[in-house]
Amino acid sequence: MRILVTGGAGFIGSHLVDRLMEAGHEVICLDNYFTGTKRNILRWIGHPNFELIRHDVTDPIRLEVDQIYHLACPASPVHYQYNPVKTIKTNVMGTLHMLGLAKRVKARFLLASTSEVYGDPLVHPQPESYWGNVNPIGIRSCYDEGKRVAETLTFDYHRQNNVEVRVARIFNTYGPKMQVNDGRVVSNFIVQALQGIPLTVYGDGSQTRSFCYVSDLVEGLIQLMNSDHIGPVNLGNPDEYTVLELAQKIQALINPGVEIQFKPLPSDDPQRRRPDITLARTVLGWQPTISLLEGLQRTIPDFAERLGIPYTPMMVEV
């Protein structure tokens, strides 16, 4: 099968490319390298089944493909707030162009949406039926509302143009190949602990998150793409941890002597975030298999290697 992955040189995209290549597909990786990097897909450059195209999805492109995984968009607050107008253009214009391509070549289209469509949720955990509590004019709106519009476009192309679509709502995901400066809690804490500087916890650390290891997430995306269910479908790990608990786990795994430092909570930061994955379990037979401890133990050495910092795993139960 000939498969296009937009944002394929990014964190999740490159893991998806790995899985699709290992399965024997022809893969086209499309990326403008705003947050992606060639390093993530270096192993496939020169492979006869792999094609790398430097391209911005806000511009149209003509290709012949069977499936489109549309992941292109900066996903961390640091990156999507850097140029908020560009972020919403990526979500709206980029999605329009990829849906137009899917319509022309009759490809199946999967939108990588986000748990951010739920905003700061008033329902917990969040099922797909929940419409969300989103600030339309806040500093996170370029991403939150951008993804909500992307979902709207996807379903309208399905209803109006009979495009085969799938929508995945991705919750917090982590693993090797995350950018060291992406500003999300897992990468922040790992980098700070490796560098021996205080771990920064915003607020009192009581806000909760759920962390899905990247291989579990990629498996869910592939299962959704090849299923008969349109979605949206939540993909994430339902195990819930406070941000302070996460900091303490990473502290124990890397440097028990490093301090934890508390700072004011950023604007519009969600207080609770946890997926209801009943639908994914029911229609896909999917659920995460990697625990937070195991996932962190797989992730930390990759960060240490890229930072050039010696790391000896701490043999502790956390």
Looking at residue 83, its pLDDT comes to 85
- Of the candidates 69, 143, 157, 213, the residue annotated as catalytic is 143
Looking at residue 318, its pLDDT comes to 46
Length of the chain in terms of residues written: 318
What is the block-wise mean pLDDT of the chain (318 residues), using blocks of 10 residues? 97 97 98 92 96 95 97 80 87 97 98 94 92 91 93 98 98 94 90 94 90 98 97 96 95 93 77 90 97 95 92 66
Looking at residue 268, its pLDDT comes to 59
Q: Is 116 exposed, middle or buried (0-12, 13-18, 19+ CB in 10 A)?
A: buried
Of the candidates 256, 253, 255, the one whose C-alpha atom is nearest the C-alpha of residue 297 is: 253
Helix (H/G/I), strand (E/B), else coil: 289:
coil
Check residue 123 and give left, alpha or beta (phi > 0: left; psi -120 to 50: alpha): beta
Instruction: Round the CA-based radius of gyration of the chain to a whole number and report it.
Output: 19
User: How far apart, in whole angstroms, are the C-alpha atoms of residue 105 and residue 100?
Assistant: 9
* DSSP secondary structure code for residue 213 in this structure: E
User: How far apart, in whole angstroms, are the C-alpha atoms of residue 56 and residue 32?
Assistant: 5
DSSP for 20-89, written as a single string: HHHTT-EEEEEE--SS--GGGGGGGTT-TTEEEEE--TTS------SEEEE--S--SHHHHTTSHHHHHH
Domains of the chain: 2-173+211-235 (3.40.50.720), 175-209+238-272+290-307 (3.90.25.10)
Contact 207, 242 (CB under 8 A): yes
Contact 67, 225 (CB under 8 A): yes
Looking at residue 266, its pLDDT comes to 73
**pLDDT tens readout for residues 247-292:** 999 999 999 999 999 988 776 567 778 899 999 999 999 999 999 9
Annotated catalytic residue 143: yes
Sign of CA dihedral 128, 147, 10, 164: positive
Other CB atoms within a 10 A radius of the CB of residue 131 amount to: 10
| Paired strand residues for 67 | 3, 108
